[in-house]
Amino acid sequence: MATTPHILILEARYYVHITDELARGAIAELDRWGATYDRVEVAGAYELPGGLRMAIATGKYDGYLVLGCVIRGETSHYDHICNEVARGVNDLIMRHMAPVGFGLLTVENEQQAIVRADPDQKNKGREAAIACIKMVELAATLRVTG
């Protein structure tokens, strides 16, 4: 990558202990790539698309990393939140050609979330950071040759 990418980590911190682990894995990977980053938090997963739209409007970032967790409960609330957040983020990606790594865990229980977030286990924060960086690289490549 020719220049150092500047990434926004947008964190839904409803489950702080899970998001902290996602961020730990993501930040380690961003550091490995030599990226700089800012961290901004929103109240919960539902606020991620709105926060992402505001961040895109600033023009300050090369890419965006969306982190958070939704754990299934006893009602259909889980399904609505998961669907709307994924749809909202994808709509913004498509509308603004925004390089985004999507690190929103959607799990059945807290134990699944812990395993997926933990950098020593599934490390989904790292995976989302890699996706973000790869999309930043793709955007840079296509802008140069396109």
Per-residue pLDDT reduced to its tens digit, 103-121: 999 999 999 999 999 999 9
Please give the positions annotated as active site. Answer: 77
**What's the order of all strands across the beta sheet hosting 100-107?**
36-42, 6-12, 63-71, 100-107
Q: Identify the pLDDT of residue 125.
A: 98
Question: Per-domain residue ranges for the chain?
Answer: 6-145
What class is the 6-145 domain?
alpha beta
Contacts of 28 (CB under 8 A, 6+ apart): 119, 126
Q: What is the mean pLDDT of residues 32-44?
A: 97
Which residue shows structure tokens 């380690």?
Answer: 28
The per-residue pLDDT for range 47-94, each reduced to its tens digit, is 999 999 999 999 999 999 999 999 999 889 999 999 999 999 999 999
Q: What is the dihedral of CA 141, 93, 63, 82, to 10 degrees?
A: -140
Q: For residue 2, what pLDDT band results from cuts at 50, 70 and 90? A: low
pLDDT in the model for residue 146:
34
Band (143; pLDDT cuts 50, 70, 90): confident
Q: Kindly report the length of the chain.
A: 146
Separation CA 33–CA 69 (nearest Å) = 25
Q: What are the strands, taking DSSP E only, across 29-140? A: 36-42, 63-71, 100-107
pLDDT at 3: 82
Average pLDDT taken over every residue of the chain: 95
What's the rounded Cα separation, in Å, for the pair 114 and 129? Answer: 18
* DSSP-derived secondary structure for 65-87: EEEEEEE--SSTHHHHHHHHHHH
What are φ and ψ of residue 52, in 5° steps? -65, -40
pLDDT of residue 57: 97
Q: Which residue type is seen at 84?
A: E
Pairing of strands 63-71, 36-42: unpaired
Q: Is 0.85 topped by the overall pTM?
A: yes
At residue 109, the pLDDT reads 97
